[in-house]
Amino acid sequence: MPLPAVRPPLSSESLRPIPQGRGSTQTDVRAHNERLLLSLIRRHGSLTKAEIARLTSLSSQTISVIIRKLEEEGLLQRGDLQRGRIGQPSTPMALAADGVLSFGLKIGRRSAEMVLMDFVGNVRDVVQLTYTWPLPAAMVDFARKAAAGMMRRLSHRERNRIAGMGIATPLQLWKWRERVGVTAADMDAWHDADLTALLADEFPFPIFQQKDATAACSAEFVFGRGSEFKNFLYIFIGFFVGGGIVLNGALFPGSSGNAGAIGTLPVTRDDQSAAQLIDTASIFGLEADIKAAGLDPSPLWTEPDGWSKFTPFNDAWIATIAPHLARAILAGCSIIDFEAAIIDGDFPADIRARIVQAVSAAMETFDLEGIAPPAIVEGCVGRQARAVGGACLPLFDRYILSSTPFVNEIE
């Protein structure tokens, strides 16, 4: 299923190719400029050589050489010849969807998911697994079998196009065991588990790992609405709520990879007791309410339309989480002047729309003096954001820049 193409207005800043100077080699310059072209074409959907020249200070000859090389490598494809404009007819270049494939593995507290994604963000294949609690050995086994099954369905050429696998998983998965409902013994296996090393022994391509909510932020940043904003706070509501940050058009993971970990923000419950945001704005709270009513909450995780079975619980849950999310957004904006807060999560699109509406309404009840309130907008990648974000990691490593090119708009 393709993700929506986004081409919002851009700022008036200019983007320059990397200069040749001390500390850089001709190979460095060439590789950076190739990634620059791929990043610009990804952002715009397609570009002609003339448009690329206007967006950068690269010469026409350099652009032609780079495009020819990328086309020969199968990373770019030609569009239809454009006529009717002033000057010679031009041919737009676009990313070749089958030019690169990558795996994304999401490991959550209730489910795992493996996706195979192409160069433009289409999810070509997906395998899912639900459980009560994940264990490292079981996750490695799942990844091995899921990837092997997907590769059997690929041609020889497609298998050679796999750039790697990205793992999206919570940091320190063993924490908050009381909320998850497991014993300390169930957590022990994760303390010393190195998933990257374990999976590197299973596959012939590179393995990457990132915090799950940051990976989801990556997916929104590359393929969703994130490219509309230079600075935004991203919120993903899963079993636990988490987040990510984009600053100045670049993902900001932080020194320990945990930037945007809004789940740990201190909040106050209605009874004035202290808590963290994960206690008041996570899906596990909805799950607990459904269990307390004597119902089976598993459709939340196992059925695409499972949420429709719990409408009264959904209503109460949304009303509960909205003011807490609004406070968290305001807290973030008091430190960083975010243009937007993008909200997505492990739920259907109609639930996401209702949450955004409720958070927007809650924002209006607070004193906003001294703060420029951000736009509260829906994410558009959806429930697969963490797995898709994992699949983005090999692309960042080899093919695209980790910062968004905010450049002069093309006329």
Beta carbons of 318 and 339 less than 8 angstroms apart = no
Q: For domain 225-380, give the CATH number.
A: 3.30.420.40
Among 18-32, 70-84, 139-153, 171-185, top mean pLDDT goes to 139-153
pLDDT score recorded for residue 316: 97
Is there a shared CATH topology between the 100-212+388-397 domain and the 225-380 domain? Answer: yes
pLDDT score recorded for residue 182: 66
Confidence of residue 92 (pLDDT cuts 50, 70, 90): very high
Predicted TM-score (pTM) of the model is: 0.87
Tell the residue number behind the tokens 């099954």, with chain if given. Answer: 149
User: Average pLDDT in the 4-13 region?
Assistant: 32
Beta carbons of 221 and 179 less than 8 angstroms apart = no
Q: For domain 100-212+388-397, give the CATH number.
A: 3.30.420.40
- List, as one string, the DSSP characters of 234-265: EEEESSSEEEEEEETTEE---TTS-TT-GGG-
pLDDT score recorded for residue 86: 57
User: Average pLDDT in the 287-314 region?
Assistant: 94
Q: Show me where the domains of the chain are located.
A: 26-98, 100-212+388-397, 225-380
pLDDT score recorded for residue 28: 80
pLDDT score recorded for residue 403: 73
Residue 138 in tokens? 């079981």
> pLDDT tens digits for 15-63?
444 444 444 577 788 899 999 999 999 988 899 999 999 998 899 999 9
pLDDT score recorded for residue 404: 62
- List, as one string, the DSSP characters of 252-300: ---TTS-TT-GGG-EEE-TTS-EEEHHHHSSHHHHHHHHHHTT---THH
> pLDDT tens digits for 171-217?
776 665 666 666 666 677 787 888 899 999 999 999 999 999 999 99
Report the range of poorest mean pLDDT among 96-105, 135-144, 179-188, 205-214.
Answer: 179-188
Kindly report the CATH class assigned to 26-98. Answer: mainly alpha
pLDDT score recorded for residue 132: 82
Of all residues in the chain, the percent with pLDDT exceeding 70 is: 87
Please determine, for residue 243, whether its predicted confidence score (pLDDT) is greater than 50.
Answer: yes
- Taking the CA atoms of residue 214, residue 215, residue 217 and residue 218 in that order, the dihedral angle to the nearest 10 degrees is 120
